């Protein structure tokens, strides 16, 4: 029995991640239009009606812009902190507030822990999902990280984290100074190097897979993100490193115990 982690897409034009256990289907963030969400879920043989609930990290449009529509069009409950819910004007009867560091149980087999992260003009959280004795972290949009975050993410079997920009490309790129400042500041986004340093603090032998998310289309390139991060974690990490682009879903990772080894073309009963 496993929980799969699948990014439906990641970047400044929309983010959403599907967590799927045998008993629950949960989205982390919903920054896509309804049509885009339907299309992306269809590639996994799912529809929005299959989704049990949605957790929101923060209110920025690329993460929460499509949340209220899920409530009004598909009756899907949304979980968010108070600031995020207010900013997005969520439907009160279909919204559950969570507090930072309060574990939220979903059904009988999944638990999700919101952990605060610094990100300008928002009350942003990263999430650590627990299933089958293992943990997956989904963390994006943060200008820096805290000891508290390191404590909760260290040793996770899967880590999805943003690698937003390459420092040189940002500084020599087209953005005006004020925007460069905001992106690289404490309240902005993580550079490839910062992501590498963060991962070096949290990766252990238990960490099997890493996904780099939310790469800037103007200020980053996949091979720069990958090589920079690997430079910092080479000694501790020998698992699967991938990059989630804007047009997913492309791949899934899993946590939890496999009941048996899956061979090609062999279906395992869950």
Residues near Zn ion (CB under 5 A): 60, 62, 141
**Residue that has been written with the tokens 């460069």 in this structure:** 180
Alpha helices by DSSP H, listed for 107-212, are 147-153, 167-171, 177-184, 192-202
- Beta strand pairing call for 53-55 and 78-80: parallel
In the complex, least distance from residue 119 CB atom to Zn ion, rounded to whole angstroms? 6
Structure-derived torsion over alpha carbons of residues 142, 147, 151, 157, reported in degrees to the nearest 10? 40
Complex with Zn ion: residue 25 or 214, whichever CB lies closer:
214
In the complex, least distance from residue 92 CB atom to Zn ion, rounded to whole angstroms? 24
Q: CB nearest Zn ion: which residue?
A: 60
The answer to whether residues 119 and 183 touch, using CB atoms and an 8 Å cutoff, is no
In the complex, least distance from residue 120 CB atom to Zn ion, rounded to whole angstroms? 8
Complex with Zn ion: residue 25 or 60, whichever CB lies closer:
60
Kindly list the distances between the CA atom of residue 88 and the CA atoms of 84, 121, 184, 232, 243, in Å, as whole numbers in the listed order.
Answer: 6, 14, 26, 37, 29
Complex with Zn ion: residue 2 or 57, whichever CB lies closer:
57
Complex with Zn ion: residue 3 or 212, whichever CB lies closer:
212
Complex with Zn ion: residue 141 or 157, whichever CB lies closer:
141
In the complex, least distance from residue 23 CB atom to Zn ion, rounded to whole angstroms? 29
Complex with Zn ion: residue 123 or 141, whichever CB lies closer:
141
Residue 165 is classified by DSSP as B
In the complex, least distance from residue 188 CB atom to Zn ion, rounded to whole angstroms? 9
Count CA atoms within 13 Å of residue 191 on its CB side: 18
Complex with Zn ion: residue 62 or 134, whichever CB lies closer:
62
91-129 core/surface letters (b: 16 or more CB in 10 A; e: else): beeebeebeeeeebebeebbebbbbbbbbeebbbbbbbb
Q: Across the strands, what pairs with 127? A: 114, 138
In the complex, least distance from residue 2 CB atom to Zn ion, rounded to whole angstroms? 28
The answer to whether residues 192 and 166 touch, using CB atoms and an 8 Å cutoff, is yes
In the complex, least distance from residue 118 CB atom to Zn ion, rounded to whole angstroms? 11
Torsion angles phi and psi, residue 6, rounded to 5: -130, 120
């Amino acid at each position: 029995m496993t929980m799969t982690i699948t990014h439906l897409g990641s970047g400044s034009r929309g983010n959403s991640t599907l967590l799927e256990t045998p008993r629950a289907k949960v989205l982390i963030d919903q920054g896509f239009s309804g049509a885009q969400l339907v299309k992306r879920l269809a590639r996994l043989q799912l529809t929005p009606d299959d989704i049990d609930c949605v957790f929101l990290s923060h209110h920025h449009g690329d993460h929460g812009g499509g949340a209220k529509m899920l409530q009004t069009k598909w009756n899907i409950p949304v979980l968010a902190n108070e600031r995020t819910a207010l900013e997005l004007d969520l439907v009160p009867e279909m919204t559950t507030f969570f507090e930072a560091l309060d574990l939220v149980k979903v059904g009988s087999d999944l638990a999700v822990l919101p952990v605060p992260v610094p990100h300008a003009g928002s009350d942003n959280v990263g999430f650590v999902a627990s299933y089958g004795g293992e943990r997956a972290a989904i963390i994006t949009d943060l200008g820096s990280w805290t000891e508290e975050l390191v404590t909760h993410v260290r040793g996770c079997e899967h880590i999805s984290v943003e690698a937003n920009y390459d420092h040189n490309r940002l500084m020599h790129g087209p953005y005006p100074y004020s925007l460069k400042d905001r992106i690289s500041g404490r309240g902005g986004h993580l550079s490839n190097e910062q992501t590498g340093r963060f991962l070096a603090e949290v990766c252990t032998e238990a960490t099997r897979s890493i996904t780099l998310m939310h790469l800037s289309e103007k200020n980053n390139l996949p091979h720069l993100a990958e090589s920079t991060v690997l430079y910092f974690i080479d000694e501790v990490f020998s698992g699967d490193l991938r990059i989630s682009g804007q047009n997913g879903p492309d791949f899934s990772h899993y946590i939890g115990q496999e009941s048996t080894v899956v061979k090609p073309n062999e279906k395992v009963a869950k």
